Structure 1
Amino acid sequence: MIKFIKEVGKSFSAYISALRFINQNKMWPYIIGAAFFNLFAFIFVGIVAWLYTGNLIDWLYSFMNLPPDWKEWTGLVQIALSIFIRILLFLIYLNLFKYIILFIFAPVLAFISEKTQNILHKESRTLKLHHVVRDIIRGMFIAIILISLQVVSWLLLVLLCISLPLLAPFYAILLFLIESFFFGASMMDYRNEYFGLSVKESLIRIFRHKGIAFGNGFCLNLLILIPVLGVLFGPSLAVISAAIASNRTLE
């Protein structure tokens, strides 16, 4: 437990180190470029989701059989339903976007992570196309593994919530904490890939140093809650922070 707490502390402090690292090594052009990529993905996926929201609202409304006495309230009910569904879907979308990052943002995060390691180790590896493709595939593969593990955790929490509904608020907090670990784990894997670790070896190292993964993902989860800036800059800052904290800790 003491080891876990110390590693979480290292992971938290690594975010401050990451900001200094970005400033000292003039990496803001890469970070801003990644932010624009992230913004484009956020808007594109958001627009697609918004367009299909109307169809979902119409579909749900078709199942509603209001009493005859409520006919004068039909318009108001439909407006209220529309607002509720759009707000709900927006919140769901914000949560899902973190998983979208793990997939479509993989090549960008891989590039930033490799750039970070090159600077930290005073190396200059040439970024080759087959490496990029490999990183994308690996990033997606790791994302699938981690998301699958998280889905299992979700299902267990749902069962607990059904069994003990009074503790539902605590399950929500627990879900946030579990989610944080898996996000941090995905960020740590970019560092492990740089050092040539296989997926299996990477996961072993990650689970051996759960505090680093949890601390990194916890900060990322909090950053994403910050409107606009969190979504744009959080992932890039997280992957640099994971590189710094992991280099200090992993053997």
Structure 2
Amino acid sequence: MNPFTKFWLGVRLYGKALAFTRKHDLWKYYFLPAFLNVIAFVSVGIVGYFFAGNTVEWLEGLFRLDNPTTWWQTTLSYIVTFLVYIIAFLIYFKSYKYLMLILLSPALSIVAAKVQEILHPERPSEDFHFPQFLHDLKRGLIINLTNLAIELSITIPLILIGIFFSPASPFTTVLIILVESYFVGFGMIDLRNEFMKLDVKESRATVKKHRPFAIGVGMTMYFMIWIPILGILFAPIWACVSAGLGIYELEENKA
């Protein structure tokens, strides 16, 4: 399967995820992750709003732009405000994304497990064991924090290039979206890999092999999350279901 076909599979499976949910009556597993996602989205948004506002006030006071009297001071004030809110937005989305992946991981793991149980009736999920739960939680933290470090090492230079070399900003923006989409997709695919008892190294190898698919899953969620109400409630859950269905096709059904 060529890279574009894998990418498109990650996009179009969101429709199949909804149909799969209806067919197998998975709605009851949606409530907890949807509730937690609203908490994560709103909490990070409130913190980001006050952070951006306070930062703008501090910079305007530092450079004496709070009461502009000349055209260049007014222009500089607008530029400072614009840059701060752009950077705050990028920080917001990155913070929300990883808080979502960590906070929702136990709840999304249940959804991912139910999907795999249906696809693999010969492999029912194990009974709940607290030591195994702690192990899976630790595993998820290690993967997500490692991914965050890798992502920051890539996106921060791209952000700086876009800010200080504006002609490159459209190009760097596209690259940033691709990188962030990949790591969102990574987190969703890993929920399936966790059910299949893959260790961290094996999970990374699986995602790397299907990188375009991971980008497709992540990018669709990236844009869907901004759909009022619907995106906030269901985008991560549909991403989780889509990732599970897609890897089943790519790895086991050989579609």
Cα distance, 1:148 vs. partner? 1.8
Per the alignment, do residues 181 and 68 of structure 1 end up closer, same or farther by CA in structure 2, a change over 3 Å counting?
A: closer
Matches within 5 A, 1:1-251: 3-50=2-49, 55-65=54-64, 70=69, 88=86, 89=88, 92-122=91-121, 123-158=124-159, 160-161=161-162, 165-251=166-252
* Residues 39 and 232 in structure 1, CA contact (< 8 A), matched pair in contact too: yes
Instruction: Output the aligned Cα RMSD.
Output: 3.2
Cα distance, 1:80 vs. partner? 8.1
Runs of 5+ unmatched residues, structure 1: none
Runs of 5+ unmatched residues, structure 2: none
Deviations 1:48-73, CA, capped at 9 Å, x for gaps: 444555644553343142599849xx
**Distance across 2 between alignment mates of 1:155 and 1:97:** 17
Quick one: which amino acid aligns to residue 241 of structure 2?
I
Cα distance, 1:150 vs. partner? 1.4
Per the alignment, do residues 52 and 242 of structure 1 end up closer, same or farther by CA in structure 2, a change over 3 Å counting?
A: same
Quick one: which amino acid aligns to residue 41 of structure 1?
A
* Residues 11 and 241 in structure 1, CA contact (< 8 A), matched pair in contact too: yes
Per the alignment, do residues 229 and 87 of structure 1 end up closer, same or farther by CA in structure 2, a change over 3 Å counting?
A: farther
Per the alignment, do residues 68 and 95 of structure 1 end up closer, same or farther by CA in structure 2, a change over 3 Å counting?
A: closer
* Residues 109 and 191 in structure 2, CA contact (< 8 A), matched pair in contact too: yes
Per the alignment, do residues 169 and 27 of structure 1 end up closer, same or farther by CA in structure 2, a change over 3 Å counting?
A: same
Paired residues, what number? 246
Per the alignment, do residues 50 and 67 of structure 1 end up closer, same or farther by CA in structure 2, a change over 3 Å counting?
A: closer
SS in structure 1 opposite 2:128?
A: coil
**Distance across 1 between alignment mates of 2:60 and 2:99:** 29
Cα distance, 1:218 vs. partner? 1.4
Deviations 1:205-238, CA, capped at 9 Å, x for gaps: 1111112211111111121122232122111110
**Distance across 1 between alignment mates of 2:56 and 2:120:** 54
- Which is further off, 53-62 or 205-214? 53-62
**Distance across 2 between alignment mates of 1:145 and 1:68:** 44
Cα distance, 1:241 vs. partner? 0.6
**Distance across 1 between alignment mates of 2:219 and 2:233:** 17
The TM-score with structure 1 as length reference comes to 0.83
- Which is further off, 46-55 or 202-211? 46-55
**Distance across 2 between alignment mates of 1:22 and 1:167:** 42
